[in-house]
Structure 1
Amino acid sequence: MLLSSLSAADDLDRAVTVGDVSLSRSALLEQAGRFAAGIPDDGPVAVHATASADTVVAVTGCLLAGVPVVPVPPDAGPAERGHVLRDSGATAWSGEVPDGVELPRVTPGPTALAPGEVDPEATAMLLYTSGTTGAPKGAQLSGRSIATGLDALAEVWGWTPADTVAHGLPLFHVHGLILGVLGSLRVGSRVVHTVKPQPARYAAAGASMYFGVPTVWNRIVSEPDSARALGGARLLVSGSAPLPASLFEQVAALTGQAPVERYGMTETMITLSARADGERRAGWVGLPVPGAQTRLMPAEDEVGAVPDDGDTIGRLEVRGPMLFSGYLNRPEATAESSAGDGWFRTGDLAVRDAGGFHRIVGRESTDLIKSGGYRIGSGEVEAVLLDHPAVAECAVVGLPDPDLGQRIVAFVVGEAGTGDALIEHVASQLSWHKRPREVRFVDALPRNPMGKVQKKLLTG
């Protein structure tokens, strides 16, 4: 069972803290059991996934009842929310009811539903992905896949019931909800959700493990006193986006330890990570977690194996028991993502060194640039640009060029007039052929509703 450690017999005071609200294990089990008793049918149940104890109770209640849960971002617009509800077939709603939602609201029962047997292969959670194009797709994660992925991370990170996890990440994604909350409940550790990922709140949490994304870590190092307060922790985890090397070094200098970087997707859970007791290398996301396998495949117009030389780019494919079971109502998309024999096409580009360490260099659909006979991952160039103090944001693309095929162009939000310096900066850090041939300064980068840069709009 996914939440096998959630037992009132092994109570833990303040097992879950969200803001000013704390719940012991027994209190969470009681409230989640009452929520489960009030679920009207087999679901799914859509949960208005605010940063609140109510969200934790609702998600836990659905898992105890064996009813699929659909976390809905609280800032989702009417069109996105409507698509998620229609596509998932949700039959009930939990939380504050926005305009346009006509589903019956779950009313907790007077007594808790006793935990029973739950089919581990059944869909436990439907998480909607946010691609750069098209409507979000519902990734179906079974209880077994979630449990397997969490157990692998517990081994890699040395995660035990003695830990306290702190983070302020959204409760509708893998990072904040599954890793941060369900991981803590499964392992038996405490979890403190800071509601907002503010440096002072992280510093006050007194945790042994902290989860954050690069934006969070950037805010933390901007307040050195808060950063130093994390020095007592044993693990600082960064994910969901590449961590610039300079930020990696700043975190290490202020806290006394290098952050652990990891890689995963909604469809795959976490498949790559640096180990708590192993090497932590800036810009690299480590080794496959227990049970996961990876391989780098050549581009469609190439033949032969991709060498493990730490430089040659390949298309990253993964497989393992933590992978999802397919996209809901999207058999074509599910088939397209499969490479056969259990391998999943991540759509990401990566390099791997002789020791098995991986570095992600971008998305195949938007980040592979073919310039002058070379294959360049734009994410690698972006990471170096972000290390320059004149750059606030950037996006690197390949635009048509009669001589090179594609020329590398950097769109930069930052200090105008520094184009030549930025080109030289990249050339000093990477191979000469990876430097931008042009830098264009813009007021803002085009983004979709989930905040992802839409590079296809940067075409001219």
Structure 2
Amino acid sequence: MRLLRALHDPADDERAVATPGTTLSRHDLLGRAAALAAELRGVPMAAVHAVPGAPTVVAVTAGLLAGVPIVPVPPDAGDVERAHILRDSGAAVMLSDDPEAAGQSGLPVVPVSGPGRGTVPAEPDAGAPALVLYTSGTTGAPKGVVLSRRAIAAGLDALAEAWQWTAGDTLVHGLPLYHVHGLVLGVLGALRTGSRLVHTGRPTPQAYAQAGGSLYFGVPTVWSRVCAASQEARALRGARLLVSGSAPLPVPVFDDLAALTGHAPVERYGMTETLITVSARADGERRAGHVGLPVAGVETRLAGDSGEPLTADGATIGQLEVRGATLFDGYLRPDGTAAAPLTADGWFRTGDVATIGADGWHRIVGRASTDLIKTGGYRVGAGEVEDALLAHPAVREAAVIGTPHPDLGEQVTAFVVADGRPDPGELAAFVAARLAAHKRPRVVRLVAELPRNAMGKVQKARLKA
């Protein structure tokens, strides 16, 4: 079966992709991509200058048609990051309409936009690599994650079922086109389900309000800004589903979004290596601070520090492990320094810590390296403390980490962006009144902003430093 099956439907030539300044029907997109695919014949790996627009959609589609693995390169990547991705991946060409990309990449540049139309090649093998996506590199140099066509299809079909995502939807987002969220879900998902795609260029509240979609994707920063623009937020009442991912959605933002739009957002969880594995359902309950249940074809479990199985009781915090059809094929060039990503019985160690309730609902505590704080013999999840801080009327943002303490091992330390200058002791007491005493921050630091990456995730390693 074709990966981008909706793209090949001759009975449906409606608008497929709309980006600022460009609208493509399925017929146009298929023709342009097929012509570019012919130029890629024999290329082992192709990089794409992943600007937020139609050229990236055409280039990625062409690679998938040709069976050539695609490496998306962030358009704002620094020289060192770009050079590492291109060298490590072994990309032979750069697909781009930007003349400056030639000098930046050092590779032969193949223009994306051309007048020709080509013959659609035969569908590549389902097990063939489709994408090589580079991780954020929080534990060293970014690693290339190899995703097969089969894994992408399984992941998108599971989400289509969970979110009741159909060809009748119009998907709206303005996310970067070099990550799972914006590219795999936000572009390939539309070309597989047949839904229309409106990419807004930037994910502003105004652009979202004007798009008239039924299905919206955003990261917590996007939804926080939507909530701050109440008129634009209310314009989303006509939508069917609002989906949040890539980072935990703060409970106050969940509540505000539900109140303003009439839609409690669907949260989901995944990684580059696993695609989306856990999600709330379109026709089911949504719980603030929780990401839902495993999607079709995925299993999850909790393990202790020594790999022992842990109880799914909603309170026990453990390392989250997953297995299923959505897992990656491996790293392009394993460095041999990190712990093996797979257990002996085939489960992927996510590196995240979570709780799983008796009813199967998952709550992600965060990364084991930064969000599980071991203090005085207790295990404290940073997210729970952050949610408590965000309930304070003066607190706009909060990030909690463990820092060294001579007696406790680690102490709970909070970095807070707040209106005015609330007393740090008052904030610690505010948490202590809501959570167990050992979970209160012993140190509260008021800061002007929190360091974030392009997807809105707080970079806690920088806070630790």
TM over 0.5: yes
- Partner SS state of residue 271, structure 1: strand
Counterpart contact for 1:378–1:397, Cα < 8 Å: yes
- Partner SS state of residue 119, structure 1: coil
> Structure 1 segments of 4 or more deviating over 6 A?
448-451
Of 149, 154, 158, the residue aligned with 2:160 is 154
Q: Kindly provide the amino acid, as one letter, of the partner of residue 27 in structure 2.
A: S
Q: Does 2:292 align with 1:286?
A: yes
2-structure distance, mates of 1:282, 1:112:
48
Report the alpha carbon displacement of residue 451 of structure 1 after superposing the two structures with TM.
6.8
Of 116, 119, 129, the residue aligned with 1:123 is 129
Counterpart contact for 2:32–2:116, Cα < 8 Å: no
1-structure distance, mates of 2:357, 2:302:
11
Q: Does 2:106 align with 1:102?
A: yes
2-structure distance, mates of 1:103, 1:270:
33
Query: 2:71 matched to which residue of 1?
Result: 70
Q: Does 2:302 align with 1:296?
A: yes
2-structure distance, mates of 1:189, 1:450:
24
Query: 1:416 matched to which residue of 2?
Result: 421
Residue deviations 1:99-147 (CA, integer Å, cap 9, x gap): 3322112245844132313011111000000132311100000000000
Query: 1:405 matched to which residue of 2?
Result: 409
Counterpart contact for 2:452–2:459, Cα < 8 Å: yes
Q: Does 2:348 align with 1:344?
A: yes
Counterpart contact for 1:315–1:347, Cα < 8 Å: yes
Counterpart contact for 1:327–1:334, Cα < 8 Å: no
Q: Aligned runs of 1:368-447 on 2, under 5 Å?
A: 368-414=372-418, 415-445=420-450
- Partner SS state of residue 115, structure 1: coil
CA RMSD of aligned residues (A): 2.0
CA shift in 2, pair 1:218/1:177, >3 Å = same
Of residues 64-73 and 103-112 in structure 1, the stretch that sits farther from structure 2 once superposed is 103-112
- Partner SS state of residue 116, structure 1: coil
Report the alpha carbon displacement of residue 389 of structure 1 after superposing the two structures with TM.
3.8
Counterpart contact for 1:231–1:255, Cα < 8 Å: yes
Of residues 153-162 and 88-97 in structure 1, the stretch that sits farther from structure 2 once superposed is 88-97
Q: Does 2:13 align with 1:12?
A: yes
Q: Aligned runs of 1:345-360 on 2, under 5 Å?
A: 345-360=349-364
Q: Kindly provide the amino acid, as one letter, of the partner of residue 66 in structure 2.
A: A
Counterpart contact for 1:11–1:24, Cα < 8 Å: no
Residue deviations 1:291-331 (CA, integer Å, cap 9, x gap): 0000000123xx85422221210000011111101111116
Report the alpha carbon displacement of residue 458 of structure 1 after superposing the two structures with TM.
4.2
Q: Percent identical across equivalent pairs? A: 59
- Partner SS state of residue 332, structure 1: coil
2-structure distance, mates of 1:135, 1:452:
18
Query: 1:309 matched to which residue of 2?
Result: 313
- Partner SS state of residue 6, structure 1: helix
The alignment of Structure 1 onto Structure 2 pairs a total of residues equal to: 458
CA shift in 2, pair 1:203/1:81, >3 Å = same
Report the alpha carbon displacement of residue 21 of structure 1 after superposing the two structures with TM.
1.2
Q: Kindly provide the amino acid, as one letter, of the partner of residue 407 in structure 2.
A: D
1-structure distance, mates of 2:408, 2:301:
29
Counterpart contact for 1:242–1:383, Cα < 8 Å: no
Q: Kindly provide the amino acid, as one letter, of the partner of residue 401 in structure 1.
A: H
Of 267, 273, 280, the residue aligned with 2:273 is 267
Query: 1:44 matched to which residue of 2?
Result: 45
Counterpart contact for 1:70–1:126, Cα < 8 Å: yes
Q: Does 2:33 align with 1:32?
A: yes
Q: Kindly provide the amino acid, as one letter, of the partner of residue 74 in structure 2.
A: P
1-structure distance, mates of 2:350, 2:289:
19
- Partner SS state of residue 185, structure 2: helix
1-structure distance, mates of 2:211, 2:453:
33
Counterpart contact for 1:391–1:413, Cα < 8 Å: yes
Q: Does 2:326 align with 1:325?
A: no
Counterpart contact for 1:165–1:189, Cα < 8 Å: yes
Query: 2:210 matched to which residue of 1?
Result: 204
Query: 1:53 matched to which residue of 2?
Result: 54
Report the alpha carbon displacement of residue 232 of structure 1 after superposing the two structures with TM.
1.2
Query: 2:187 matched to which residue of 1?
Result: 181
Query: 1:258 matched to which residue of 2?
Result: 264
2-structure distance, mates of 1:450, 1:250:
21
Counterpart contact for 2:291–2:364, Cα < 8 Å: yes
Report the alpha carbon displacement of residue 438 of structure 1 after superposing the two structures with TM.
1.7
Query: 2:460 matched to which residue of 1?
Result: 455
- What is the TM-score when the length of structure 2 is the normalising length? 0.94
- Partner SS state of residue 6, structure 2: coil
Report the alpha carbon displacement of residue 285 of structure 1 after superposing the two structures with TM.
0.2
2-structure distance, mates of 1:448, 1:153:
25
Counterpart contact for 2:41–2:66, Cα < 8 Å: no
Of residues 194-203 and 333-342 in structure 1, the stretch that sits farther from structure 2 once superposed is 333-342
Counterpart contact for 2:402–2:413, Cα < 8 Å: yes
CA shift in 2, pair 1:443/1:219, >3 Å = closer
Structure 2: any 5+ residue segments left out of the alignment? Answer: none
2-structure distance, mates of 1:227, 1:457:
32
Counterpart contact for 2:243–2:267, Cα < 8 Å: yes
1-structure distance, mates of 2:187, 2:193:
10
Of residues 402-411 and 309-318 in structure 1, the stretch that sits farther from structure 2 once superposed is 402-411
Of residues 322-331 and 392-401 in structure 1, the stretch that sits farther from structure 2 once superposed is 392-401
Counterpart contact for 1:43–1:92, Cα < 8 Å: no
CA shift in 2, pair 1:234/1:9, >3 Å = same
CA shift in 2, pair 1:326/1:227, >3 Å = same
Q: Kindly provide the amino acid, as one letter, of the partner of residue 379 in structure 2.
A: R
1-structure distance, mates of 2:122, 2:217:
32
Of residues 272-281 and 8-17 in structure 1, the stretch that sits farther from structure 2 once superposed is 8-17
Q: Kindly provide the amino acid, as one letter, of the partner of residue 321 in structure 1.
A: A
